[in-house]
Each structure stands twice: as C-alpha cells, then as structure tokens.
Amino acid sequence: MNTLLISLIALTFSIGVRGTYDPVDWSAHQWQAPLPTDSRGPCPGLNTLANHGFLPRNGSNITIPIVLNAVQDGFNFQPTDLLRTGAKLGLLTTDNPDSFTLQELALHGTIEHDASLSRNDYALGDNIHFNATVFATLNNSNPGVDYYNITSASQVLVQRLAEDSIANPNITNTVKEFTIRTIESALYLGVIGNITTGVVPKKFVQIFFEQERLPLEEGWHRSDVPIDDDNFGPLIGEIGEATPWAPSGPVTCPWIRLQPEGTPTIVN
C-alpha cells in the first residue's frame, strides 16, 4: 500500500515535472564527429545538434520544422517567435525554396555578423570554422571562477567588439548585429547553462564551442525547465542592459542580405 502510494506520488510528480517534453534516448543521439562531406557552419548550436543526430548528421536539407523539432528535442527550447524567425531567416541564405545547409547559414549579413565569439569576420577570412584565437576572449573571461555569467558575457561582448574594430576597420556594428550577438550570448548561457540564473560552467562552454559536443559525460543535462519567451526574453534583456554599446563602422543602418547572389556588403 505504502509502496503503491509512493509510486503514484512519484509518477504524478514525474509527469508534473517532466511531462512537458519526451525524454531523450541518448543511445540514439551519441556524438559523432562529422564526415568531411557533412555540412557544418558558423552556428555551434546547430552543428552540435547535427553531431548528436537531432538534425540530419549530413547537415543538409534542413527545413523549418526539422530545425524547430531538433532544438526542442535536444535543448528543450520551445518554438518561440524568436526561434521561428531565426529559423526562417536561414532560408534567405539559400536559393533552395524550403531548406538550407548548415554551411549556407554563413552568408554574411543575413544572420552571420562581425565580432563573433568563436569565428573570424567574413572580411578577415574564415567566418565558418571555430577559431581558437577569437575564442580566447570568451575562454579567458571571468578569471578566478569556473563559470561564466551575465556580467562576464557582457564584458566579452564589449571586448570582442573592441578587438575586432581594430582587426577590421570595416566592421558592421549596427543595432542588428548587437541584437543578434546579445541573443547568441543568451544561448550559450541559458541553453548550455542555467536558463534561470544565466550561469554556465566554463567546461561546458569550452566543449560546446571547441568540440561541438554536448558535455553529457561531464554532467550537462538538457534544461528541465522549457526555454521560452518567459525565461529567455529576460536573459537577453539582462545581458543587453549590462552591455555598454554604440554603433560604429562605415555601415550605420541595419540591413539584411536577402539572397546568396549580389554584392557581399551594402554600404548606405
């Protein structure tokens, strides 16, 4: 009787807490290094989802439903307006009518931007692959403790912009790039770390960026709180408010690259 009651309570509790998403069968989502023929791009989040088979491992023929389901299954990130918009912007990077490859996402000026955390600027060379020199700024931030947080993420945004403004005098730094960069910082804090506190172990972030692997053996687990506008919105807001920023560079007006063809930059 007691055992039954405890089981019922446990079942109810587990449905209450975990009923918002299906458990992951991690045996079907082991990390595998990409093959040379697999498409990978400038987004460590989507590359990681492909390396774990939440996205097609070949990184190709990615549709909006495929990407939204993968982000939900792998990260417990709900298909919010923000995520749907990001996914749809991916379609502007390709001539394919309804799907993109991970590499196509690197089209400069659609989502891809200057002063990234882990990739070089398009104008400086390789804007697709992980670059350890660029990543050193984030990697070395928040010295003395073993985690990153909202304060350190803001400092990294400021520092990357300062370094990159010297390396690339033609930097594009309008409110559009600032907004996307702020969202991306919220992604590594809140998806790889804790969506409520905005705190993430350094080790998790290093593995995520350097290996494009989910640090499961190291203790990472998917957020048990669904990530949505209610918690992700405030995290973006707090990072943005903590970050002193002003536009700079030759391009002063936000613009968006609508298709792969055409000139790589639009100067207003």
Ligand X SMILES: *[C@@H]1O[C@H](CO)[C@@H](O)[C@H](O)[C@H]1NC(C)=O
Name the residues that contact ligand HEM, by CB under 6 A. 42-46, 67, 71, 75, 77, 83, 86-87, 90, 105, 111-113, 116-119, 184, 187-188, 191
Residue at token pair 């007691």: 2
- 262, HSE (Cβ side, Cα atoms, 13 Å): 15
63 lies in the site for ligand X, by CB under 6 A: no
Cβ closest to ligand X, residue 82 vs residue 126: 126
Task: Give CA–CA dist 108/120, Å, rounded.
Answer: 12
Hey, what are 215's tokens? 């640090």
Q: Are 157 and 241 in contact (CB under 8 A)?
A: no
Cβ closest to ligand X, residue 8 vs residue 218: 218
Of 167, 246, 227, residue with least CA distance to 21: 227
Cβ closest to ligand HEM, residue 42 vs residue 56: 42
Task: Give CA–CA dist 32/38, Å, rounded.
Answer: 11
Stretch that binds ligand X, among 1-9, 11-19, 78-86, 94-102 (CB under 6 A): 94-102
Contacts of 92 (CB under 8 A, 6+ apart): 107, 110, 256, 257, 258, 259
Minimum distance, C-beta of residue 149 to ligand X, in the bound complex (Å): 4
Stretch that binds ligand X, among 17-25, 71-79, 80-88, 165-173 (CB under 6 A): 165-173
Stretch that binds ligand X, among 11-19, 40-48, 168-176, 229-237 (CB under 6 A): 168-176
Cβ closest to ligand HEM, residue 187 vs residue 207: 187
| 179 contact choice in ligand HEM, ligand X, none (CB below 5 to 8 Å, kind-dependent) | none
Of 31, 112, 99, 95, residue with least CA distance to 67: 99
Task: Give CA–CA dist 19/11, Å, rounded.
Answer: 10
Contacts of 127 (CB under 8 A, 6+ apart): 42, 106, 108, 112, 116, 119, 120, 121
| 46 contact choice in ligand HEM, ligand X, none (CB below 5 to 8 Å, kind-dependent) | ligand HEM
Hey, what are 19's tokens? 């009923």
Minimum distance, C-beta of residue 51 to ligand HEM, in the bound complex (Å): 13
24 lies in the site for ligand X, by CB under 6 A: no
145 lies in the site for ligand X, by CB under 6 A: yes
Stretch that binds ligand X, among 131-139, 182-190, 212-220, 226-234 (CB under 6 A): 131-139
What is the amino acid identity at position 80? T
By residue count, the chain amounts to: 268
Minimum distance, C-beta of residue 105 to ligand HEM, in the bound complex (Å): 4
Minimum distance, C-beta of residue 60 to ligand X, in the bound complex (Å): 4
Strands (E), the chain: 147-148, 200-201
Cβ closest to ligand X, residue 7 vs residue 56: 56
Instruction: Summarize as ranges the residues that interact with ligand X (CB under 6 A).
Output: 56, 58, 60-61, 96, 99, 101, 120, 123-126, 131-136, 139, 142, 145, 149-152, 167-170, 194, 196-197, 206, 210, 223-224
